[in-house]
Structure 1
Amino acid sequence: MAKLLMSIALCLLLVYVSEARPMRKPFVLHGRVYCDTCRAGFETSATTYIAGARVRIECKDRNSLQLVYSVEGVTDSTGTYKISIADDHGDQMCDAVLVKSPQPDCAKVDPGRDRSRLSLTRSNGLVSDTRFANAMGFMKDEPASGCTQLLKQYQESDD
């Protein structure tokens, strides 16, 4: 009987210790922020990437939709951000969201490209701690010169 109680106590202690310790390795989220120079609504060969753009990671409770986690990052000279996320958020809805563009002439959020849904859990079969977000973008106030010809290349022909 004493061995049984000791075994149960040891198991409970192991469970408690494993739940209380911090995560071994954080997730690292990679993404890019672009400026839609042609106002096309998608990335083109004329697209530029924005250095110094601010991005926020938001995780909300699935039931109440209340914000439970938030962290911000900034893009580097290539328009790329890398944000470290310490916790597993498998029971939450997480998004990367555009916050601000440092370019005054490219500061309007591109509708539909202002956020990217994320999977920030280890319970999804992914082995790597690296996660990737879809590119998000802002639009130029006025299309750049040469965009008309560029966008004609993207049009489908009905031949």
Structure 2
Amino acid sequence: MASSTKFAILFAGALCLLCLPGMANSAATQFIVEGDVYCEVCRTNFINKLSQPMPGAKVKLQCKGEEEGNITYSLEGVTDAKGHYRLTVEGDHGEEACEVTLLKSSRADCEEIPDEGWATKPSSKVTLTKNNGFHGETRQANPLGFTRKKADPQCFELFKELEINPNQEF
């Protein structure tokens, strides 16, 4: 065998060995996705001083590939006593679109998922890769909220304070 062929084989083997630690690290990649779930008692679809943390609410994180309906990763979680959830995600999902959505309310009086205006099917997109400039393993998801069927009477004063006039019945 020619010495150049031996060199090429040795070089290729060495390159493969150098890649193994990197492959082990990518396989062991973990991310923590954290966020909050609340009950929005005024039906404004944004957090305000009357919004209430929702313990026991269920959320779902899903990552999808480029093809429609191609769910590549899915994980559910439950909020703690302060309405906060913490999901441990395995693997790097840089080639996928990942988001957290509301799954189930823990309160019968606040179980509607907003479906109007900008809050239609609310979700929080999260980036789950180390190849994007973010440092660390923790990713913060935007807060998500269920709404009540009817706005709380206290909301009238809040609307006056915020100088907004939604067409709410109290």
Q: TM-score, normalised by structure 1?
A: 0.89
1:12-27 to structure 2, matched below 5 A, reads 12-16=16-20, 18-19=22-23, 23-27=27-31
Q: Is the 8 A contact 1:40 1:151 kept in 2?
A: no
Percent identity, please.
31
1:112-149 per-position Cα deviation (integer Å, ceiling 9, x unaligned): 16211111111110111110000001001221121111
Return the match for 1:108 from 106, 112, 117: 112
Larger radius of gyration, structure 1 or 2? 2
Q: 2:32 maps to which residue?
A: 28
Q: Secondary structure at the match of 2:152?
A: coil
Q: 2:47 maps to which residue?
A: 43
Which structure 1 residue ranges, 4+ long, deviate > 3 Å from structure 2? Answer: 20-25
> In structure 1, what is the Cα distance between the partners aligned to 2:30 and 2:37?
22
1:47-126 to structure 2, matched below 5 A, reads 47-111=51-115, 112=119, 114-126=122-134
Q: Secondary structure at the match of 2:109?
A: helix
Q: Is the 8 A contact 1:109 1:138 kept in 2?
A: yes
Gaps of 5+ in 2: 165-170
1:77-122 per-position Cα deviation (integer Å, ceiling 9, x unaligned): 0000000011111000101010000101100012316211111111
Q: 1:127 maps to which residue?
A: 135
Distance 1:25 1:66, change over 3 A: closer
Q: Is the 8 A contact 2:39 2:52 kept in 1?
A: yes
RMSD: 2.0
> In structure 2, what is the Cα distance between the partners aligned to 1:37 and 1:143?
6
> In structure 1, what is the Cα distance between the partners aligned to 2:40 and 2:149?
10
Gaps of 5+ in 1: none
Q: Is the 8 A contact 2:60 2:101 kept in 1?
A: yes
Structure 1 counterpart of 2:126, one-letter code = L
> In structure 2, what is the Cα distance between the partners aligned to 1:39 and 1:120?
31
Q: TM-score, normalised by structure 2?
A: 0.84
